[in-house]
Amino acid sequence: MSAPRKPTRLERIHTDAGAEVAVLTFDDGGLNLFDRAMFDALTADLDALSAEPPRAVLLRAEGKVNSAGVDVHVFDGLTDEQGAELWRTLFAELIHQIEALPCPVVYAAHGLTLTAAFEIALACDIILAAPKAKFGLVEIVVGLTPSMGGPQRLAERAGSGRARELVMTGGTYDAATMLSWGVVNAVHEDVDTAARELVARLADGPTRAHAATKRIVEAWRSGGVAHADSVTPDVSGSLFGTEDLRGAVRSFLDEGPGKARYAGR
């Protein structure tokens, strides 16, 4: 008897300059529903990425949709405490792991992106979308509110009023609307190609500086401008000990801007 089909696929590829990019694809052969198998597969993939970080990550999906959301069987029969523990686990194993990766993370939405998939997208650094992509946090259909960080991360990008509207109405919103709200960074006809080109460019860049940017923004998210200011000297100062900064400064002085090559060290 053959083993069950793994609903995710993790590939490590390299740019022309030799930088490693990880491409994590959701592909269960259907609607990419987040059932226990999908959650477990994604957790294992993120554990692998955390153990050996690449220089950029792309999250994408195969099939007609990115994801039709969570398999409601996951919620059936849970007690109050079991529900709370589910969310604690998903924050720790998925959302916070994505945000903690020390490299840029890009999400490419080519189609419908609902509930858990949208919340995962919101944990990424950059979201790209195809014109036909639609987004929604539709948990009200089962009497729930999005609980993997969607409302707060949507509020961070679009404002609290927009976040409450999207969640409370349970509507789906097109890519153009999400772009105008600042949730999506860009819309591309061929979003997969655009996303691959972007992650390659980011991977070829100063990876340690990108990680520092993420740490400074995270400090702002948790404590505002004053807290971000307080951590920036040490976070940014440590970059002066990196091979990439020293080499780029020398390249700039010797050859002018735009000639530096980065190794991620």
3-state secondary structure of 130: coil
3-state secondary structure of 207: helix
Which residues of the chain are modeled with pLDDT < 50? none
**What pLDDT is recorded for position 185?**
98
**What pLDDT is recorded for position 4?**
77
**What pLDDT is recorded for position 240?**
97
**What pLDDT is recorded for position 2?**
62
What's the whole-model pTM score?
0.97
Beta strand segments in 30-152, E: 56-61, 105-109, 113-114, 126-129, 134-136
Question: Any long-range contacts for 161-168 (C-beta under 8 Å, 24+ apart)?
Answer: 166/136, 166/137, 167/137, 167/139, 167/140, 168/140
